[in-house]
């Protein structure tokens, strides 16, 4: 890199620090597990703001209602090693001849928006009539997010956690890996090719969990499910130890070449060289966060899936820094001062049940919410739909007139009217959960979208919560 380009990069970094300090730049973490709808959310987030001048779907975004947001554009960013978020490709998929949901995320990408607006404060207006806000948004695979809790765990802790999770799930899945791991002699060396073979069996095992609607568990690493550029690398050749005798023993006297120490070293290397840089680059300088949760899949799949998701999300939320923010912290030690927890796919539920959906999510993460609110940050829970694909209709269900949802079923391509069941506003016991019967359907993008502005549910409230206070 030339001296000139180095100086330019340093000046750009300094300018970003100043903008953060004077509250003109904000970094938003869009977090959620695989299938929560991050790509659809970011697409809608950008779409609503890029059409801000003629967008009448945002009554709760006060600066827009007041006509003070003048324009928004997609701007270039300095992190040239990060691919651009595929906004245009997502829109092409949604508005194409055969509409479909945007492709799931398989790698990291970034979007940056610049918003120009009229200053509201009459004293500041005497100095400057207009100002701007820069928004940075990162997209990444939800599978990789599962790795953040690893930063707090030792190899022994992680193995114990995997053991407990497997005991909870029972013998639902057949696994050659479990048989192989039970026969390992961990005190002795094992050739690298055999370590790789057993690790491959473990990768197949956790991928099977993902494919059988048990996605909400912490059988990491996430890169074992979606390796990206690490496919085939030795850094992914390790696996947890389930033998309680080994886990309870002292490893300090064992040889560095023993299998247990080899696995421990690779686990620590993975944390240090893969997970930690990922966290530092994409999450350490976050100002605001939205956690997207697909509650409907959990409700469809029963109590154990609910408990898995509850545990996973609670552990995940412990990985972020929450607390009050000021100009100095924003520049050098940012923390998240606002967290929005959102139940996605609200359009799959009749409108009269949206409040119950929010209540379900609140109760599921009650302990985590209490811990985060103790830090004094703003926290909100909403039922949202980034892209609304159904409409509410009154229809007869089992002899009763009930509010239902109508849309194109994703699996069949046929238009259907669905009553998903009545959500409980109270927390359910395991026995009570068994009595509930839910039938949430996945809906497709309809072919009748005519406006270039995506229909949504409560994206204006999302925008107001995440960035509304910046338009002063």
Q: How confident is the model at residue 22 (pLDDT cuts 50, 70, 90)?
A: very low
pLDDT band for 5, please (50, 70, 90 cuts).
low
Q: Alpha-carbon distance 368 to 363, whole Å?
A: 10
- The mean of the pLDDT values for the chain is 86
Name residues whose C-beta falls within 8 Å of residue 88's C-beta, 6 or more positions apart in sequence.
Answer: none
Q: How confident is the model at residue 6 (pLDDT cuts 50, 70, 90)?
A: low
> What ranges in 375-471 are assigned the alpha helix state H?
430-435, 459-467
Which residues are within 8 A (CB) of 66 and not within 5 positions of it... i.e. 6 or more apart?
A: 120
Q: Is the pLDDT of residue 64 over 70?
A: yes
pLDDT of residue 305: 82
Q: What are the C-alpha distances in Å from 305 to residues 106, 334, 364, 433?
A: 24, 34, 12, 11
Q: Residue 209: enclosing H or E segment and its boundaries? A: helix 192-211
Q: How do residues 396-449 score in pLDDT, each as one tens digit?
A: 877 889 999 999 999 999 999 999 999 887 777 888 787 788 889 999 999 888
List pLDDT tens digits, range 78-98.
777 888 999 999 999 999 999
Domains plus CATH for the chain?
3-145+281-388+449-470 (3.40.50.300), 153-278 (no CATH), 391-435 (no CATH)
């Amino acid at each position: 890199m030339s001296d000139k380009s180095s100086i330019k990069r340093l000046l750009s970094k300094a300018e970003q620090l100043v903008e953060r300090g004077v509250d003109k730049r904000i970094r938003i973490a869009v977090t959620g597990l695989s299938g929560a709808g991050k790509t659809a959310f970011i697409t809608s987030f950008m779409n609503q703001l890029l059409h801000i001048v003629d967008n009448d779907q945002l009554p709760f975004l006060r600066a827009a209602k007041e006509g003070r947001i003048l324009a928004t554009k997609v701007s270039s960013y300095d992190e040239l090693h990060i691919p651009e978020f595929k906004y245009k490709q997502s829109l092409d998929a949604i508005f194409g001849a055969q509409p479909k949901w945007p492709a799931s995320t398989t790698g990291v990408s970034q979007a940056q928006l610049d918003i120009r607006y009229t200053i509201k404060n009459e004293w500041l207006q005497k100095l400057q009539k207009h100002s701007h806000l820069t928004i940075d948004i990162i997209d990444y695979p939800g599978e990789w997010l599962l790795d953040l809790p690893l930063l707090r765990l030792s190899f022994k802790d992680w193995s114990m956690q995997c053991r407990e999770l497997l005991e909870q799930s029972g013998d639902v899945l057949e696994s050659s890996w479990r048989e192989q791991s039970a026969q390992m002699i961990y005190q002795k060396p094992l050739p690298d090719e055999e370590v790789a073979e057993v690790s491959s069996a473990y990768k197949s095992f956790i991928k099977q969990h993902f494919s059988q609607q048990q996605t909400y568990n912490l059988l990491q690493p996430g890169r074992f499910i979606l390796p990206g550029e690490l496919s085939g690398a030795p850094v992914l050749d390790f696996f947890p130890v389930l033998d309680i005798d080994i886990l309870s023993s002292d490893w300090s006297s064992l040889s560095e070449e023993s299998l247990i120490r080899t696995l421990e070293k690779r686990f620590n290397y993975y944390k240090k060289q893969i997970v930690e840089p990922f966290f530092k680059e994409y999450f350490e300088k976050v100002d605001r966060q939205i956690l997207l949760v697909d509650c409907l899949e959990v409700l469809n799949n029963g109590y154990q899936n609910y408990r898995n998701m509850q545990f996973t999300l609670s552990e995940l939320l412990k990985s972020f820094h929450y607390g009050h923010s000021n100009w100095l912290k924003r520049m050098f030690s940012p923390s998240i001062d606002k967290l929005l927890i959102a139940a996605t796919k609200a359009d799959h539920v009749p409108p009269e049940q949206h409040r119950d959906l929010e209540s379900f999510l609140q109760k599921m993460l009650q302990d985590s919410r209490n811990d985060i609110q103790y830090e004094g940050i703003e926290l909100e829970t909403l039922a949202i739909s980034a892209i609304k694909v159904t409409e509410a209709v009154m229809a007869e269900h089992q002899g009763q007139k009930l509010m239902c949802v109508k849309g194109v079923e994703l699996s069949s391509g046929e238009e259907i009217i669905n009553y998903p069941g009545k959500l409980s506003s109270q927390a359910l016991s395991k026995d009570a959960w068994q009595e509930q019967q839910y039938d949430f359907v996945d809906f497709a993008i309809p072919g009748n979208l005519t406006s270039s502005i995506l229909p949504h549910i409560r994206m204006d409230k999302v925008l107001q919560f995440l960035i509304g206070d910046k338009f002063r």
